[in-house]
Amino acid sequence: LNRPVVDRIIRVDHAGEYGANRIYAGQMAVLGRSSVGPLIQQMWNQEKDHLKKFDELMVAYRVRPTVLLPFWNVAGFVLGAASALLGKKGAMACTVAVEESISDHYNSQIRTLMEEDPEKYKELLQVIKQFRDDEREHHDIGLEHDAEGAPAYSALKTAIQFGCKAAIFLSERI
Amino acid sequence: VRCQLCPPQRALQASAVLRRASDEQKEPFASSSQQQSSSHATDHQPEQEPQGPRPSYTGQGGQESEDYESEEQLQHRILTAALEFVPEHGWTAEAIAEGAKTLGLSSAAAGMFHSDGSELILHFVSQCNTKLSELLEQEQKLVQLGEAEKKPTDQFLRDAVQARLRMLIPYIDKWPQALSILLLPHNIPSSLNLLTSMIDDIWHYAGDQSTDFNWYTRRAVLTGVYNTTELVMMQDSSPDFEDTWRFLENRIADAMNMGNTANQVQSTGEAVVQGLMGAAVTVSNAGTSRAGR
């Protein structure tokens, strides 16, 4: 097993699911009692399952979590709450942006592992593929619920995706 | 068990790095600053991982004849042989020269290493860490087979740290010298690496499954306990270092208390917040009811 590669992958994916969890928590705090509440709750529940899976993988592969977890804790919640304060469409736009970043990121990880050795990394590949599909679904749900109608949609989306890229870069390394 | 042998840092390192870079892809366990010897103890990868044959670090993989010994292996043998001369000569080139002589080599072999004895000390530390890992692995097996009781965490940590520190006893007179050499700037990356992997190993076998910031606090605390106990041991003249073990017991107890205290602070904090929210609601209700009248 290529330890450095597996280490990075699990660390950053764990951080990502943790962040996604906190984003949905922030959105629920604001929009929990609105009409999109149940929908957000459902997506949140799926992220909780994802996080649980990465917790298990982290222990199994003895990977160190990122030091920035406490920071993602707060930043994620603030992002979720702030986007929700922009309204339901704002929350959906945030979801679209984040889920798009995450699924692109999962895709590049899948490519990396496939290039390395698909057989060796079969279990990990299966998990990442499944999660990538789930995140894409969330992305599509966001679009269906009129994310593009959110105020300053493209600026919002660009800003959030830039933040995601930075978060991914840092969580892989520290 | 992750083997943690740190071969000498030499000019030859450049070629070693080049070899390592090409071998890294095939190496199941190579981490960027640790290298493996050709013999491995068992590992803890999840059972699903295929346990194929592993090429040795030096990439021999059957390309050379079985009698061929790589330079790293030779250096390891010399350093291991040199350890017996450390109590007399200290961590020096003399000890290495004597070690080389017992292997039938010329004492000029000591020229392969740094004159400050760095490699000898790092080799020793790495060896001790490997021994500790094997010990903990065996203990874990006994517990899994039901032949031994699972120890409570504080006792487990105490025993593991004590076992590791006891390995210093034969060299205790020269250990302060070794510690100061390990703190030299050019040794810090390796010595820090060895220390952190050892602490991580201990926590792993203690059953730590944290995936949040606790991962860091636990390791930081245990590192502090280990280092302070090691220093106390240097000054200890009591029979069988009983003062040191008592010190260790107290520090571990403190560490356990720290965890409990943190929980208590958090619960108290949450209770206070609840209380304040309740008070705020009461005040706002009182206000609205008065306004409604």
> How far is Cα A128 from Cα B37, in angstroms, rounded to an integer?
33
Instruction: Give the best residue of A48, A59, A174 to mutate against chain B (max B CB count within 10 A).
Output: A59
Q: Which residues of A touch B48 (CB under 8 A)?
A: 122-123
> How far is Cα B86 from Cα A114, in angstroms, rounded to an integer?
50
Predicted confidence at residue B64, as pLDDT, reads: 53
CB–CB of A14 and B211 under 8 A? yes
Among A1, A64, A119, select the one facing B215 at the smallest CB separation: A64
Predicted confidence at residue B231, as pLDDT, reads: 96
- Torsion angles phi and psi, residue B237, rounded to 5: -120, 15
> How far is Cα A42 from Cα B110, in angstroms, rounded to an integer?
67
Predicted confidence at residue B2, as pLDDT, reads: 46
- Chain A CA closest to residue B204: A62
CB–CB of A2 and B31 under 8 A? no
CB–CB of B50 and A120 under 8 A? yes
What mean pLDDT do residues A54-74 have?
A: 95
C-alpha distance across the termini of chain B, in Å: 75
How much is the ipTM here?
Answer: 0.90
CB–CB of B48 and A3 under 8 A? no
CB–CB of B49 and A1 under 8 A? yes
List Cα–Cα distances, A148 to A140, A151, B106, B256, in angstroms: 12, 8, 78, 52
CB–CB of B44 and A64 under 8 A? no
* A155: contact with B, CB 8 A cutoff: no
Residue A52 has pLDDT above 60, yes or no: yes
Show the domains of chain A with their CATH numbers: 3-172 (1.20.1260)
Distance from CA of B138 to the nearest CA of A (A): 19
The domain segmentation of chain B, as residue ranges, is 151-271
Structure tokens at A103: 């699924």
Among A3, A70, A119, select the one facing B30 at the smallest CB separation: A3
Query: Residues 107-136, chain A: which have Cβ within 8 Å of B?
Result: 116, 119-120, 122-123
Q: Which residues of A touch B31 (CB under 8 A)?
A: 3-4
- Nearest Cα residue to A73 out of A138, A25, A31, A11: A25
Query: Residues 23-82, chain A: which have Cβ within 8 Å of B?
Result: 54-55, 58-62, 64-65, 67, 69-70
CB–CB of A59 and B212 under 8 A? no
Distance from CA of A24 to the nearest CA of B (A): 19
Among B44, B49, B215, select the one facing A65 at the smallest CB separation: B215
Q: Which residues of B touch A3 (CB under 8 A)?
A: 27-31
CB–CB of B46 and A61 under 8 A? yes
Query: What is the Rg, in whole angstroms, of the alpha carbon atoms belonging to chain B?
Result: 25
> How far is Cα B31 from Cα A102, in angstroms, rounded to an integer?
27
Instruction: Give the best residue of B22, B33, B211 to mutate against chain A (max A CB count within 10 A).
Output: B211
Which residue has better confidence, A72 or B60? A72
Angle (deg, nearest 10), helices A122-144 and A37-60: 160
- The reported pTM is 0.79
Among A1, A59, A64, select the one facing B209 at the smallest CB separation: A59
> How far is Cα A28 from Cα A40, in angstroms, rounded to an integer?
7
Write out chain B's pLDDT in tens, 293 residues.
Answer: 444 444 444 444 444 443 444 444 444 443 434 444 434 444 444 444 444 444 444 444 555 555 677 888 999 999 999 999 999 999 999 999 999 999 999 888 888 898 889 999 999 999 999 999 999 999 999 999 998 899 999 999 999 999 999 999 999 999 999 999 999 999 999 999 999 999 999 999 999 999 999 999 999 999 999 999 999 999 999 999 999 999 999 999 999 998 888 888 888 988 998 899 899 889 988 888 877 66
Predicted confidence at residue B22, as pLDDT, reads: 42
Distance from CA of B292 to the nearest CA of A (A): 27
